Structures are given as C-alpha cells and as structure tokens.
Chains A and B, each alone.
Chain A
Amino acid sequence: MAKAVGIDLGTTNSVVAVFEVGEPVVIPNAEGGRTTPSVVGFSKTGEVLVGEVAKRQAITNPDRTIRSVKRHMGTSWTLPIDGKDYTAQEISARILGKLKRDAEAYLGDEVTEAVITVPAYFNDAQRTATQEAGQIAGLKVLRIINEPTAAALAYGLEKDDEEQAILVFDLGGGTFDVSVLEIADNVFEVKSTSGDTSLGGDDWDQVIIDYLVKTFKDNEGVDLAADKMAIQRLKEAAEKAKIELSSLQESAVNLPFITATSEGPKHLDLTLTRAKFNELTADLVERCRAPFEAAIKDAKMSVGEIDHVVMVGGSTRIPAVQELVHSLTGKDPHKGVNPDEVVAIGAAVQAGVLKGDVKDVLLLDVTPLSLGIETKGGIMNKIIERNTTIPTKRSQTYTTADDNQPSVEIHVLQGEREMAMYNKTLGKFQLVDIPPAPQGMPQIGVTFDIDANGIVHVSAQDKATGKTQSMTITGQSSLADEEINRMVKDAEAHADDDKRRREEAEIRNQADALIYSTEKLLKDQGDKVEAEQRSEAEAAVAATREALEGSDMEAIKTATERLSTAAQGISAKLYEAGATEAGGEEASPSAAANDDEVVDAEIIEES
C-alpha cells in the first residue's frame, strides 16, 4: 500500500518521516544519515547529485552546485545549466526526489503523497512554489503546513481541548525563527513570526574555529586559516566540541600534526570549557533575544500567556540557548523528540491523519506492572510481565503442594517484587473440589486475559475435571503514575533482598518436596529397604523437618543434602534389586512428565 510521508524541506538539511504502525519514524537516507543536506550538484558528466555527495563535490563544481535553494523559493531566480534554466522549485524537486527514492527503498513500497513543511512566514508564492516542487518530484502534496505547527503536532499539543498558546523556538543550521501559535478546536493559527535569516548553529561552530585559530596563532605563530586541510580538521573538531559541551563541562580538542614549520610538526592540543564557550558565544545567544521579544509583541501577548514552549533545530541543545529560553519564558520546553527531526515527525503525523492511518490505529496500551499469582513459599510467579502490550492472554499450569489437597487459592498479584507479600493484591479466589491426588499430580491451568480496556480476567481450571473458577478485575490500570513508578523503583531498590528471600523460599520448597518424596518412598517400598538405610532416611527426614522449623538456611541446606544422599542410596538399592528381579514394576513416571508445561512452583494450599 502506497505511503504518505512527511517532509521537512529545510534550508540546510532536509528530513523525511513516515507514520507507521502507530507512530512516526524518521527514514534514514541511502547513506545511512537521518538528515540529508539540501544541496544539489550537476556534475559535468550530466549526473545529478543530491545531499552529502553533492556537498563533497561542491568546491570542484561551484557554478553547478546549489545550496540553500529554499531562500530562492517563490522568486524568479533561475540557474542556467547546460543550456537549461532551472527554477528554484526544479532544484527543490531534486531534493524531494532523493528523499522519495530513499523512503521507497526503506519502506519497500511506493511513496506517492507527502505533507511538506514551510516556514510560517512563507507567502503564497513561496508556498505555491513548494507545492510545485513536490509535483515535479512526482509527489501529490496533500498539504503544505507551517514548520512550527508541525513541531507542535509532533508533541501532540493539538490534543488539549482548551485554547493554547505555543511558542516555537527554531534555531537551525543557518536560520533562526520564533513563532507564536494559537490552537483551538484543532485549528492552528500563527499569531506572529520573527527571526534572523542569518543566525544559526554554523555561527557557533565558526566562533570555536576562530578561537582555535587565534589561540594557535598566539601560541605557535602559525596562521591555520590559510591551510585548507587544517581548516577542515578544525571544522570537524569545533562541531565535536560544541556537541560535547552540551553535556559535558569541558571538551578536549586534540589535533596532532595540524601543521608543520621549519622547526618540525606542530600539534594543537587544548581544552575548551563550557564557561569559555559560553563567553565566546554570548553575543550569538543575545541575538536570539530581540526576535523573541518581537514575536511576543506582534502576537499581542504577554510572556505569561504562553502555555507551551517547543524547541526545534539541533542548536537548541546548546545549554546557553536553553537557559536563555527558560529565562525569557519561565517555562521548561517540551522535550523528547529530537529537535533536528521534530518538524518532519510532525509532518508525518499530519500525513497519517490525512490518510486516516492515525484514526485506524488502535492506540494500544501496555500493562504498567507485572501480573501473576502467589505460589508456594510466598513467591510471586509472574504470568504477564510489565510493559506487555494489551490485549493479551497468557496461561501457565500449576499443581498442588500437598497430597489430597482439595482446593487451591488463586491470589492475583500486581507488582515487581519477587515476594508476594510486597506486591498489591488484586483479588483472591478458590478453585475447590479437586479430586484426591498425590501432590504434584493435579494440573491447574491458570489463564490471565487482559482486554483492550485493561480489564483482567483470571481463570483457573482443574484439567482433570474441567472445573473452572474465575474472576474479573476492573480498573487495575487506574493506579496513579506516581504509584506505578514507586512500585517499580521499590522493586529495583529491594532486588537483592527479594532475590535472597526468593532463594530461601526455594530452598525450603525443595526440602519440603524431598521430605515428601522420601516418606512416600519409605511407605511404598519400605519393606524392601534395609533397616540401616531406613533408619538413616528417617533420621534425615526428622533432621530436615527440624531445620525447617528454624531460620538457619545453611542448616536447612545441610539437612537437605543429607536427606538427598539417604534417599538416593535407597533408590539405588531398589533399582539394583529391580534389575535382578527382571520384569519388576517400572518406576511410575512423575507427574511432571506430562505434555503440558508444568511450572516448578506450586499453589499454596488454602489456609
């Protein structure tokens, strides 16, 4: 099925995204990049190069390489190449064409429709030109939307019922835009726009490059600005430092053999602190202030009336820029969507809405916490893990803990702790009238079924009789987010403790099981067992029982080992005897050797 994509056709870089399987995703280009430089080159051999590749050949082919064509959209600008005059929309169409091809390769499907974004200040002619560019590229343009609107859509800000005022702060590679939007009843209105068409992230890089060049000149007396290779390396280093300084307090710039003099090679090695970076770029940050204030003023609003702040463009990751926005608005901006991709994401959401994909998608929820039942020893046995997408249905088979156990209690739990007592009880019910049988023999199938509304149906069935008992738990997901977080954190904090308790419970369960099987062995086969072995086994059973009364885990382990050795001794003797008897009764298969999966956990007997 043909897809509709969202395209951020930017001045410096472009991004394409698609709404798929319920969420918007950015489509990487053929070179593996998530953004594609908005550069087009016509090679001398007649090839058309777009993106990174066009950028790399630009210097060899300057007259036939076009950057920032967006600045010419809607004007009569043309570029003659090989006797043909190319318009801005024809050049833009080349960029769109590459995005379309790469998206098709990625999706394995045809892409025929698109939502394309434009700056809020674009006039009719510029919008029409953008639409034409889409058509030339073979795309049906479903809609042209404003970049700030797309950014707001990416954050789902239209979903609020009340009228909202949104400030979008967009600091791109080479342009800066501030827009104030108002949204009511799903209609966005741009109240004002302002900006600076020659301010962007590249300016921050340049400041670092200049600083490095100057420092090197002061220290070494060599001007790196004249050295093309040195400048290229400085550019890369500057960008890396800028990115590192968004999360670190300092960044090391280390460029060995940056140049050579008659004295030998020279190395550039210095540390740039965030404080120094902030000092160097203070003027640039300050230049963001006036457009911001103009936008607020033109919208005839006060800063206090702004409900949401959305950041767009990679340069809004710079801490000083974030601090400025925070100090100007008094608000924390929305976070979570990559600011380089937020516009394309929003365009993809719009495409999804227009194509009906968004409506069709059932918004699937997940279980916030694990669900399970209590098994022997107070252990919580999880049946549905947290963050499982619902609706879902899971079953497990359990068995009884005692001989002739007439009923089992299904204690339904919610939470992340290993031990039942620390989790939340959602409900309890009994499955009764289990026919008398040795422990481990009955098979109780327990099924958890969560429907799309988060309602949990728990049923337990005795597979021998088909007798079923069930209960329905509603509103299990109505726990407040804080409570869910608290429970998850609690489980993490107590993970070690819980693990130890669980191990203890398991050791006890094991000891219990061994006592049971040894006593059964003595009862059934006692007459064939030598008196000495028999008394040792009986003593070992008594010792294990006694150890179980206490809380010394080592004592229980030791006693269990002794019991295990004694029981194995008896079994070995019995097998020997059986083998010589030839044709002796085969040992009865254990209850667990059934086709169904039997979990090594038993439901506690009703108390």
Chain B
Amino acid sequence: MSEDLNEAVLEESEPEDVTGEHSEQLEVDPFAELAAERDQITDALTRLQADFENFRRRSNRELSEASSRGASAVVLSLLPVLDALDLAAAHLGESAEASAEGLALVQARSLLLDSLAKQGLERLDGAPVVFDPQIHDAVMHAEGEGEPTVVEVMRAGYRLGELVIRPAMVRVEG
C-alpha cells in the first residue's frame, strides 16, 4: 500500500545535467543556445503578459462585482429583520391595521421593503408557481399530480440584481 502512496510531487527536469553526463562532448553552438534561451524567455514573457491581460480584465469585472457584493452583504444582514417583520405581520393578519402598534409595524415593514427595492432587491415569494431550485429551497414535500409546484412560501427569498442572495424556503407538491 505504501508503494502506491509514494508520489514525486515536484518535477525536476534540468536538461543541462543530461548533456553534462553525455559521453561524447557535443559541440554546443553558442548562438543556438542563446536563441533557445531567448525563445524560452520570450515564451515566459508572453505567458506572463497573457496572464496579466486576463487578470486585468477580470479585475475590472471583479471591481464592479465587489461593489454589488458589498451591497448584498448589507442586504443579507438585514434579511432576518425583514423575516421578523414578515412573521409579525403574518401573525397579526387581518387585525394588523386595527391597532396603532400593528399599523406602525405594517408601515415600517413596507418602508423597509420599498427602500431595499430601490437598491434592486427583488422579493421571491410567489405561490403557486412551478418549483425552480434556482430560486426555491424545498424544505417540505408532498407527492402529488403533475409538475412539482410551490404551494406555500414559508420564508421569502430575495434576488439582488442578477444574484439570488437567498432562495425562498418553500413547501412543494407534485
């Protein structure tokens, strides 16, 4: 077994060693040697340049992604607040607007949702819709007829721009 586990990890290939041990002394053309070295260096430089080009292109892309990620980190940290407000509103139900406290809560919640919507936050809470794991996370499932369908959204999901920052937690049938 230990035979299998041996592995030479780093390649050590030094062509100079080979020529050095060769029995007959080969005439080495200094120009050929220099040309080979030049080609090697040119190759290395080209690779580096290509790497750098790709790197720069990606850095630009990542810069814009990073700023949206920064926003998404803030929004993500606010989601539990939204969830709590959702749950509170759901708990109060129809009676929410009957009391001053309930009304305040409902208004605070819609204000927060509106503000975040202006930042590009899209709420994913439609039901019934066809189950789509890109935006839905199924935590309950019942066998049923036809296509898997979201029958209840237990916790809303959110999309910020293109990115699903949290899938909706759903109950699925079918």
With known contacts A60-B172, A120-B5, A256–B148 Cβ distance under 8 A:
no
In the complex, what residues of A have CB within 8 A of residue B7's CB? 143, 145-146, 149, 187-188
Q: Are A57 and B131 closer than 8 Å at their CB atoms?
A: yes
- Does the CB pair A357–B47 fall under 8 Å? yes
When distances are taken between beta carbons in the complex, the residues of chain A under 8 Å from B57 are: 108
Q: In the complex, what's the smallest C-beta–C-beta distance from B83 to chain A, in angstroms?
A: 8
Chain A, residue nearest B10 (CB): A186
Q: How far is the CB of A63 from chain B (nearest CB, A)?
A: 12
Q: Is the CB–CB distance between B9 and A106 below 8 Å?
A: no
Contact with A186, one of B12, B84, B88 (Cβ below 8 angstroms): B12
Task: Render A110-154 as a binary contact track against B, CB cut-off 8 A, 1 for contact.
Answer: 000000000010011001000000000000000101100100010
The closest CB in chain A to the CB of B1 belongs to A123
A97 CA to B84 CA, complexed, in Å? 40
Smallest distance from the beta carbon of B82 to chain A beta carbons, Å?
A: 12
Q: Report the Cα distance A187→B50, complex, angstroms.
A: 32
Could you say which of A48-56, A82-90, A450-458, A580-588 contacts chain B? A48-56
CB of A260 within 8 A of chain B? yes
A249 at the interface (CB under 8 A from B): no
Interface status of A265 (Cβ within 8 A of chain B): yes
Asked if B9 contacts A188 (CB within 8 A), the reply is yes
* Main secondary structure on B side of the interface with A: mixed
1/0 contact string of A240-269 vs chain B (CB within 8 Å)? 000000000000001011001000110000
Q: How far is the CB of B168 from chain A (nearest CB, A)?
A: 10
CB-defined interface of A391-413 with B at 8 Å, one 1/0 digit per residue?
A: 00000000000000000000000
Residue with the highest number of chain A CB atoms closer than 10 Å, among B5, B9, B134: B9
Task: Establish whether residues A153 and B88, one from each chain, have CB atoms under 8 Å apart when the complex forms.
Answer: no
Give the shortest distance, in Å, between A160 (CB) and chain B (any CB): 12
Q: A543 to nearest B CB, angstroms?
A: 54
How many Å lie between the Cα of A41 and that of B131 in the bound state?
Answer: 14
A228 touches B9 (CB 8 A): no
Assuming the contacts A60-B148, A187-B7, A229-B169, asked whether A108 and B58 have C-beta atoms less than 8 A apart, the reply is yes
Asked, given contacts A49-B133, A149-B9, A257-B91, whether A60 binds B54 with beta carbons under 8 Å apart, the answer is no
Q: Which of B138-173 contact A (CB under 8 A)?
A: 138-141, 147-148, 154-155, 163-164, 167, 169, 171-172
- A206-229 vs B, CB cutoff 8 Å, 1 = contact: the mask equals 000000000000000000000011
Residues of B within 8 A of A32 (CB): 69, 163
B:46-72 near A, CB below 8 Å? 47-48, 50-52, 54-55, 57-58, 69
B125 within 8 A of A: no
The distance in angstroms between the C-alpha atoms of A436 and B52, with both chains bound, is: 48
| Cβ A228 vs Cβ B10 within 8 A | no
Let me know if A323 is at the binding interface, CB within 8 A.
no
Closest-CB distance, B136 to chain A (whole angstroms): 6
Least CB distance, B107 to chain A, in whole angstroms? 19
- Is there contact, CB below 8 Å, between A353 and B55? no
User: Whole-angstrom distance from the CB of A244 to the nearest CB of chain B?
Assistant: 13
User: What residues on A are CB-neighbors of B58 within 8 Å?
Assistant: 106-108
Determine how close the nearest CB of chain B comes to the CB of A369; give it in whole angstroms: 26
Q: Tell me the smallest distance from the CB of B118 to a CB of chain A, in Å.
A: 22
- Report the separation of the CA atoms of residues A61 and B132 in the bound assembly, to the nearest whole angstrom: 12
Pair B5/A146 contact, Cβ less than 8 Å: yes
Q: Are A145 and B51 closer than 8 Å at their CB atoms?
A: no
- In the docked arrangement, what's the CA distance between A145 and B10, Å? 12
B164 near A31 with CB under 8 A, answer yes
The CA-CA distance from A453 to B2 in the complex, in Å, is 43
Q: Is B35 an interface residue (CB 8 A)?
A: no
A56 touches B88 (CB 8 A): no
Alpha-carbon gap, A395 to B50, bound state (A): 28
A109 touches B54 (CB 8 A): yes
Cβ of B87 within 8 Å of any chain A Cβ, yes or no, is yes
The smallest beta-carbon distance between B92 and chain A, in angstroms, is 10
From 36 to 85 in chain A, residues with beta carbon under 8 angstroms from any chain B beta carbon are 41, 44, 49, 53-54, 56-61
User: Known contacts A21-B51, A109-B54, A353-B11: does B91 contact A60 (CB below 8 Å)?
Assistant: no
Q: A228 contacts B164, CB within 8 Å? A: no
B130 to chain A, nearest CB (A): 10
Name the residue on B nearest A145 (C-beta): B7
Measured CA separation A49–B131 after assembly (Å) = 14
- Chain B's nearest CB lies how many Å from the CB of A258? 9
Residue in B1, B7, B57 whose Cβ sees the most chain A Cβ within 10 Å: B7
A56-B155 contact, Cβ under 8 Å, with A149-B9, A187-B8, A354-B11: no
Q: With contacts A53-B134, A186-B12 known, is A60 near B141, CB below 8 A?
A: yes
A536 within 8 A of B: no
Which one of B48, B50, B54, B141 lies within 8 Å of A59 (CB-CB)?
A: B141
Q: Which residues of B1-45 have CB atoms within 8 Å of chain A's CB atoms? A: 1-2, 4-12, 43-44
Q: Are A353 and B141 in contact (CB under 8 A)?
A: no
CA of A265 to CA of B4 in the docked complex: distance in angstroms? 61
Report A-chain residues with C-beta under 8 Å of the C-beta of B154.
228-229, 232
B2 touches A59 (CB 8 A): no
In the bound complex, residues from chain A placing their C-beta under 8 Å from that of B148 are 44, 57, 60-61
Can you spell out 27 A-B residue pairs with CB atoms less than 8 angstroms apart? A20-B55, A21-B51, A32-B163, A49-B133, A56-B138, A57-B133, A58-B138, A59-B139, A59-B140, A59-B172, A123-B1, A123-B4, A143-B7, A149-B9, A158-B9, A186-B10, A188-B6, A188-B9, A189-B2, A228-B140, A231-B139, A233-B155, A256-B88, A257-B84, A260-B91, A354-B11, A360-B43
Q: Besides the contacts A123-B4, A256-B87, what 4 more A-B pairs have beta carbons closer than 8 Å? A: A149-B7, A186-B8, A190-B6, A360-B47
Complex A-B, nearest 7 residue pairs according to Cβ-Cβ distance, in ascending order: A257-B87, A57-B133, A190-B5, A186-B10, A56-B137, A56-B133, A360-B44
